[in-house]
Structure 1
Amino acid sequence: MRESVRSHVWNRVIVLLATAVIAIGSMLTSTALAAGAPFPYEEITVDELLSGYESGEYTAEEVVQAYLDRIAKYEPKYNAFTVLNPNVLEEAREIDRKRKAGEKLGPLAGVPIVIKESVDVAGFPSTMGWEPLAPEKGGIALIPEKDAPVVARLKEAGALIIGKTNIPAFSASGTSASTSWDGDTYNAFGRQFAPGGSSSGTAMAVSGNFAVLGIAEETGGSIQNPAAAQGVVGIKPTFGLVPNVGVVPLGGSTRDVIGPHARTVKDAARMLDVIAGYTHEDPKTVAAIGNMPEGGYMSRLNTQALQGKRIGLLGPGWRDMELTPETQELYDKAIQDLEAQGAIVVPDPFAGSGFAEYVAGITTGNGIESLIYDFQDYLERLGPDAAVRSVEELLEKTGQKPSVFERYYAEDVPDPSGEPDLSEFIEVRTHLLNIFNAVMDKYELDALFFPQMYKETPTLDSGENIGATTVSEINMAGVPLVTVPGGYYKSGAPFAVVFVGKMWSEAELLGYAYDYEQATKHRKAPVLEE
């Protein structure tokens, strides 16, 4: 029985990959790839796309085909995807049929999106970015039998999944996808720059106009780092707002979050409206009940949102670091733009709070203590016919100990059927939140406003890590953050700012981010290399 199931799984994978190859081959002949032909949907927003559908200006099939043509043209240089969806044109035609028939459609009907590789999509291989689980490399094919809740919600909303996007092995890098079985993903603003990690492929696909929206995921910087590095908006939500089951975990019980990548704040907020909220599949999301805004996450978007708001600025009290001269110059300009919108800035509100010193001293209790137990839960959820359904089977069938296990379990892997000891993590989160909330209350702050990095995005070949200012403090604390384009370095690398707030303050943060975005309009489309 097991062999027949395995054969069936392999056949599905082979068909999937073969169909994708055929689809890409046919794309290469498309007239949309003619030399010099402009991409007709460059930087299009969800509003513009839906309006075009309603007016009959274009169809979902036409839009999806144009994106597939663009991917065929540029993907060899940027490697955003691990797999394309061979059924997406058929799914687009079905959206067109429903629209023409006057059937009720979801809020993202016909919107092309991408999904991070670590997030389960039924019928697509879950490789975790690891070669022993990559069918293309002769590895074991893990095929989830059901969607992660966020994917199910997006499908119900009518979104069209173009494909799954590249990640480093086990999402264990905030800088690049270099450890992926599929190789590096490259930055849309210059192949020489690190793409950010671990949602490297999602950021590239959204920034490079391979899709309109994307699903990213973060344990420690993996939404915000690639968003900042590639000039897009990212939302790292409050822990527990968006279900994270059906996602390869690092800290699934403690700090892993799912969030949007988009080119505009409004589009990111619209995607958050679809994926946020309680589901019985993820009991953690019960915390979201009563903590979501009436009218949704787009309801606070206005160009007066910053007027009179008290905003805390980066200083040694948050983290003892020095911004590079060019970063400081860009941050100073961003602060001026903030004040021009009527905000009242408060320099270094964390000074004297002990926050920076406490964070620097954290060596245990960072939330990754639940790794092996969360991994067991993830594998069990894959379904009864999955090729691997336990940590024990994973180790046995691959014959390897994943590097992420090596990092946290240098000796024997603990029994995943037990319970993780999260007492130290609870103490750390409690202490961080106590300081954070006390500072916000003391200075009556509505949000914090920081540069996302203290230095320019490093080059991919430099070996340097991205210099994030908010990793992993906000992940251990569980508070939300919104990343927004804030300008560009002289090299052409994007500069980004972040708005950080108390737990459940996403709607307010998105309002501030929208006000800033509309006042500055820093986002520009990258010019891709052929």
Structure 2
Amino acid sequence: MRHLRLPAFPLPSAEIDMIGWTIPDLRAGYEAGRFSASAVAAACLARIARLEPYLNAFISVNMALMEDAAQVDAEWRAGVRKGPLHGVPIIIKDNMNVAGVRTTAGYAGFASDDRVVDPSGGVFNGIDLVPERDASVVSRLKQAGALIVGKSNLPDFGLDGLRADSSYNGDTLNPYDARFAPGASSTGSAAGVAAGFGIASLGTDTAGSILFPASAQSLVGLKPSFGMVPIDGVFPGLSSHHDVAGPIAKTVSDVAILMDVLAGPASADPRTARRAGRPDFVSALDAHAFKGARIGLFEPGQWAPDLHPAVAEHYHVMTEVLTGLGAELVPVVFADTDWRARWESRTSFVGTNSYLAGVDAFLGALGGSNPASRSAFRERAGFEIGVATTAPLHGLLSSATINVGAEDAGMVAVIEQAAALRAHYEAILRDKRIDALFFPRSVNPLPDIGGDTLAYLGDQVVGTEINEMGLPVVTVPAGFLEDGRPIAVDIVGAAIDTDAAILAFAYAFEQATLLRRPPPLSS
């Protein structure tokens, strides 16, 4: 907790169970008048004060949280009900803009109370980036009445697939065991939920950054379809067709409640206008969703290599759960097609991307006196964005040899190629009448925190592929291995915009198994 400050708060009520309660539990308590939003906020802050020095899940906490909670209490007394999250404490990732609050994206260079060392140029103080407007996801949370608890820790620019290791704020630990990797860049968002600092959180995903931390900390995480949730006001804007923001929570139901808020009304953007008739996510939940469904299984060599023996044994048990729920399991979906050959012939986002253009776009939208571009930042700060970063993937993605403009012909070709691959994927599943895919989250067990980032990214059964095609995936707790490491399963949509369908499957699996348990920090 190198930089963190907390607002003053009263002693919390022992009645409030931040570690176990869900959004419906909280709302029921409000409706019955059993506690106030101020008491809930105090409970969050008390847990943060006690556990945050150990976990390091936050970069900043909302210093006006108690004032915001008092406003919610006044609204409840006046009969005002803003929405399904009214008085619900939510954590957001610190690559998301909150008006008037600094966005660090985990990088010391974006913080005036820190510094960077440029081996060729000297030592420089960072520069605060303070946006004038909320990111759309934050605005939608506020409109639904959420209490924003604070901004979670992340690796520099969100570019580490294993841990936080922020150059500004250091590492976040896994609440289940400090030895275990906390999982990819949304790890602070996940740790905050697992530890009871908030009821739910938001993360972002480029190649597993929602799915990995949720699975590593026995939580539910949804990587939505591309375009389902707006990403304006989110750093770094890696790709105009790739990045997503999405929820992390303890239950599938809570994720569905959040999605009803985050997805919002249909967009006027022609790329997302297909969502005009999007379903109500909560209403779509169905404990019997697997009955009669055809579910595709893991095929070695198609998405990933053979499974580790412990993972394979566990996965087999999980597939038997689906059989018991009435699903028809389909072991061969892609192996008898040309899918793999076509996939391997593509130009991937690490071969051509618009990361640097995304950074410029993010800076340009901050408003006020903020530097409006990378060159303006360099002129004011004295160093290039990325100097002294701890993120192992920044050098790869920021390479000038692979970066093009968002509208460049090379980028357009990559996007069109991804769309064609998605259409081919959807056609295969449609022809074989597959309703969803059911996979282990990782080929290998969760590694230790000192593991190798690129190896961990490669452990994913689905990750980069699903992001490049814009398909939805939900990861669901599936218990623990013998040594206590959390393990999870993924449910992948058969097509884009099947988010509600996979949440229905996830809910059925969750209700049949109830394999999640809270971390040992809960006392």
* SS of match in other structure, 1:298: helix
Q: How does 1:140-219 map to 2 (within 5 A)?
A: 140-219=127-206
> 2:6 touches 2:45 (CA, 8 Å); kept in 1?
no
Normalising by structure 1, we get a TM-score of: 0.89
Counterpart residue number, 2:71: 94
Cα deviation for residue 156 of structure 1 reads 0.7
Structure 1 residue 354: Cα displacement: 2.9
The answer on whether the counterparts of 1:113 and 1:160 sit within 8 Å (CA) in structure 2 is: yes
Q: How far apart are the structure 1 equivalents of 2:252 and 2:522?
A: 27
Structure 2 counterpart SS, 1:170: helix
Shift of 1:286: 3.2
Give unmatched runs, 5+ long, in structure 1. Answer: 1-16
Residue 365 of structure 1 deviates from its aligned partner by 4.9
Who is 2:497 aligned against? 504
CA deviation map 1:348-367 (0-9, x unaligned): 31113233344345454558
Residue 6 (structure 1) aligns with? none
1:103-502 matches, within 5 Å, as: 103-137=80-114, 138-277=125-264, 283=269, 286-293=272-279, 296-316=280-300, 318-365=302-349, 369-386=353-370, 388-398=371-381, 399-402=383-386, 406-411=395-400, 419=408, 421-463=410-452, 465-466=455-456, 467-501=459-493, 502=495
CA contact (8 A) 2:350 2:402 kept: no
Q: Deviations over 1:3-36 (max 9, x none)?
A: xxxxxxxxxxxxxx99x6352xx56x9477xxxx
> AA paired with 2:474?
V
What is the alpha-carbon distance in structure 1 between the residues aligned to residue 352 and residue 36 of structure 2? 45
Displacement of 1:289: 2.9
CA drift at 1:409:
4.6
**2:352–2:403 Cα contact (<8 Å) kept:** no
The answer to whether the Cα contact below 8 Å between 1:370 and 1:420 also exists between their aligned partners in 2 is no
SS in 2 for 1:422: helix
- Decide whether aligned partners of structure 1 residues 361 and 180 sit closer, same or farther in structure 2, where only a CA change above 3 A counts: farther
Q: Is the contact made by 2:352 and 2:411 (CA closer than 8 Å) also made in structure 1?
A: no
The structural deviation recorded for 1:413 is 9.4
Indicate how the Cα distance of structure 1 residues 508 and 80 shifts in structure 2: closer, same or farther if over 3 A, else same: same
SS in 1 for 2:295: strand
Q: Is the 8 A contact 2:162 2:452 kept in 1?
A: no
In structure 1, C-alpha distance between the alignment counterparts of 2:349 and 2:170, rounded to whole Å: 32
Higher mean C-alpha displacement, 455-464 vs 506-515: 455-464
SS at structure 2 position matched to 1:369? coil
Aligned AA (2:159): A
User: CA 1:393 to 1:332, structure 2 compared with 1: closer, same or farther past 3 Å?
Assistant: same
Structure 1 residues 195-221: Cα deviation after superposition (integer angstroms, max 9, x where no partner): 111101001111221110101111111
CA distance in 2 between partners of 1:413 and 1:361 (Å)? 17
Choose the corresponding residue for 2:18, options 32, 41, 44.
Answer: 41
Q: Is the 8 A contact 2:353 2:403 kept in 1?
A: no
Matches of 2:90 and 2:46, distance apart in 1: 15
Amino acid at match of 2:74: R
> Number of aligned pairs?
502
With over 3 angstroms needed to count, the CA separation of the structure-2 counterparts of 1:440 and 1:245, relative to structure 1, is same
Partners of 2:303 and 2:197 in 1: CA distance: 36
Q: Structure 1 residues 310 and 416, CA, compared in 2 at 3 Å: closer, same or farther?
A: closer
Q: What is the deviation of 1:256?
A: 0.6
Q: Which amino acid aligns with 1:155?
A: K
| Residue aligned with 1:94, SS | helix
| CA distances 1:269-319 after superposition (whole Å, capped 9, x unpaired) | 000100104576x836633432511xx101111211110100000103532
* TM-aligned CA distance change 1:369 to 1:31, over 3 Å: closer
Question: Structure 2 vs 1, CA of residues 302 and 334 (structure 1 numbering), >3 Å: closer, same or farther?
Answer: same
Alignment match, 1:55: 32
Alpha-carbon distance in structure 2 between the residues aligned to 1:252 and 1:523: 34
Which residue does 1:12 correspond to in 2? none
For residue 353 of structure 2, give the secondary structure of its aligned residue in structure 1: helix
Equivalence for 1:3: none
CA contact (8 A) 2:98 2:131 kept: yes
Point out the more displaced range, 403-412 or 268-277.
403-412
Distance 1:165 1:288 in 2: 32
Aligned partner letter, 1:239: F
Deviation at 1:416, TM superposition (A): 6.0
The C-alpha deviation readout for 1:360-414, integer Å capped at 9, x for no partner, is 454545586222222221111101322x111211233341242666424545897
Please tell me the residue identity of whatever aligns with 1:64: A
TM-score by length of 2: 0.90
Q: Residues 435, 31 of structure 1: CA spacing in aligned structure 2 closer, same or farther, 3 A cutoff?
A: closer
User: What 5-or-longer segments of structure 2 have no aligned partner?
Assistant: 115-124
SS in 1 for 2:245: strand
What SS class does the counterpart of residue 145 from structure 2 fall into? coil
Q: Given that residues 111 and 160 in structure 1 are in contact (C-alpha distance below 8 angstroms), is that contact kept between their aligned partners in structure 2?
A: yes
Matched, 1:516 2:500: no
Question: Whole-Å Cα distance in 1 between the matches of residues 345 and 433 of structure 2?
Answer: 27
Provide the C-alpha distance between the structure 1 equivalents of 2:36 and 2:103, rounded to a whole number of angstroms: 31
Aligned partners of 1:311 and 1:413: how far apart in 2?
A: 38
Q: Tell me the distance in 2 between the aligned counterparts of 1:513 and 1:261.
A: 14
Aligned residues with identical type, % of pairs: 36
The Cα of 1:224 is off from its aligned counterpart by 0.6
Instruction: Flag the 1:418–1:41 CA change in 2: closer, same or farther, 3 A.
Output: closer
Contact kept in structure 2, 1:278 and 1:288, CA below 8 Å: no
- Go from structure 1 to structure 2 and tell me whether the alpha carbon gap of 1:291 and 1:225 turns closer, same or farther (over 3 Å shift): farther
Question: Secondary structure, in 3 states, of the residue corresponding to 1:248?
Answer: coil
Following the alignment from structure 2 to structure 1, what is the Cα–Cα distance between the partners of residues 274 and 140?
16
**How much does 1:322 deviate?**
1.1
